[in-house]
Structure 1
């Protein structure tokens, strides 16, 4: 059987900018969050992930300096030519490297935004950029119905870049199915789907399975529910408390259970990890070798929250 670590990817959202919404960052990240410190931490994570067998890295224009940090690491590691790179456009990072910024990122799914941001991504990553997602494509922004944007994305597709969407919000399934219907030049435009899936919010699962059935690639993000499904991440919600009790009864750290649960979806090509330090990464990676007992599987199946409730809770999370 293939090594399950090969199905894990490394996401840089939580490490390439000083503030993010994942709880528990401060414990390992600390207060030293200047550009040089986070660049060094990012490179250490990339070194450790690559040594462990991880071969997919996820970045985005809005993830602070994630593309820049990754580009520097790739230049310093010419032997890492087998790493696949995915990035995203549609949000701008406007936090100014401040923890107390009133706004950290701004959404823009216009053609002008795509043109500007793809040029920036390509300047840093060049032909290493293999997948380009619309960042958090939702029905309300109109990007899934914008023919001009679709034609521009089709130019990338026709040059060999895989085009896709990432999704968020309670209507993820609707966005996935709408994107699956988009054709340009008689061919499917969107063939990569990066969506939130975890035991608290599994609602996109059936649509993602449908996408995989068409030959599209599926990437799971936020498998730790932004820290709620990690040791010490109990936020007082019934779902998080039940998950913590389940981990305690099983004797397995909760982050490893979350990874194993995500990997149990046969239609998922990659499961993204988002650590801020190598200790977190090591624990996350151990989830690939974690078996789920029938009792744990049954317990996980009872954790799902209504999608609207889950996303309302996520929206209220502080940047820290």
Structure 2
């Protein structure tokens, strides 16, 4: 991938539903978050991302109407035949397009959930689907030991769809390593891993490096720590303040520093962006051109938080 932007992906988690846990959404989106408004903004982002050279697009069943929005954009752009599309199953969006919903999504890693959700994904994305992940797979849910789910996903693998898992939580590394062990008909099942990595939470790095060494593809998500590592998104924690200070001393916007840090991981094939405006996207993409100044990577490494604390902080974030 000679074009730096070709290693980037555009995720629709934050733009295809009215509420999410990213900092600064009130200022970024305003109060108008009707379906029509967010569909239009999604189209603007897809247009801008494609023009910038981004060729990986990330959606999920639980991302509001992300698959629907993407399918509409693809239908209106028949000339776009060079994008790779990844989606996920395992969560259902139940927020009803309400900001004040008590619950926005429900996790279900059963075979029935896979069967139902894949049918819906295929109805919208069809043969354009290239990657299908178990959404936030963990050792605890049992999906990594469920032979019936593995057999069902192996049918997709055998049809040419790359299957894998996304991960969240303090035990991401355990989930990645367990998934690497899964075989169906003697062949590895999970060969794509979409995991959180950023300077505040780099703990999955060693396991992701092992996955890459085994021939799997690694996609990095949440490089901005849900806004904590974006300009104006700091939450007052020591790590966020230190990162902002480091970016100021380096003379670059914090989001670009976060993108460059993720792209500097040799095992990272893709780095996902999740902007809600074209201006945010442009700044994020500029991070692909940034070479980390000498010593900055070591300073970023010093910002790492204990995984349990990082994920407890993330879990406590409100939907806005």
Is the TM value for this pair above 0.5?
Answer: yes
Q: Which moved more, 1:21-30 or 1:180-189?
A: 21-30
How far residue 4 of structure 1 moved from its aligned partner, in angstroms, is: 1.1
How far residue 221 of structure 1 moved from its aligned partner, in angstroms, is: 0.2
Question: In 1, Cα distance between the equivalents of 2:127 and 2:54?
Answer: 20
Question: Per-residue CA shift, 1:187-245, capped at 9, x if unaligned?
Answer: 00000000000000000001001001111100000000000000011101110010011
**TM-score relative to the length of structure 2:** 0.99
2:211 aligned residue: 211
**Mapped pair 1:114 → 2:114:** yes
How far residue 28 of structure 1 moved from its aligned partner, in angstroms, is: 2.1
2:160 aligned residue: 160
Question: Per-residue CA shift, 1:96-116, capped at 9, x if unaligned?
Answer: 000000000000000000000
1:174 aligned residue: 174
How far residue 149 of structure 1 moved from its aligned partner, in angstroms, is: 0.4
2:125 aligned residue: 125
Unaligned runs of 5+ in 1: none
Question: In 2, Cα distance between the equivalents of 1:200 and 1:295?
Answer: 17
Secondary structure (helix, strand or coil) at the match of 1:57 reads strand
How far residue 26 of structure 1 moved from its aligned partner, in angstroms, is: 2.0
How far residue 251 of structure 1 moved from its aligned partner, in angstroms, is: 1.3
Question: In 2, Cα distance between the equivalents of 1:315 and 1:166?
Answer: 17
**TM-score relative to the length of structure 1:** 0.99
1:250 aligned residue: 250
Question: Per-residue CA shift, 1:132-158, capped at 9, x if unaligned?
Answer: 000000011000000000000001100
1:70 aligned residue: 70
How far residue 25 of structure 1 moved from its aligned partner, in angstroms, is: 2.0
Secondary structure (helix, strand or coil) at the match of 2:140 reads helix
Give 4+ residue runs of structure 1 displaced > 4 Å after superposition.
Answer: none
Q: 1:1-320, aligned counterparts within 5 Å? A: 2-320=2-320
How far residue 295 of structure 1 moved from its aligned partner, in angstroms, is: 3.2
Question: In 1, Cα distance between the equivalents of 2:197 and 2:177?
Answer: 16
Question: In 2, Cα distance between the equivalents of 1:81 and 1:207?
Answer: 33
Aligned pair count? 320
Unaligned runs of 5+ in 2: none
How far residue 298 of structure 1 moved from its aligned partner, in angstroms, is: 2.4
Cα RMSD (Å) of the superposition?
0.7
Question: In 1, Cα distance between the equivalents of 2:57 and 2:70?
Answer: 9
Secondary structure (helix, strand or coil) at the match of 1:23 reads coil
Question: In 1, Cα distance between the equivalents of 2:184 and 2:77?
Answer: 37
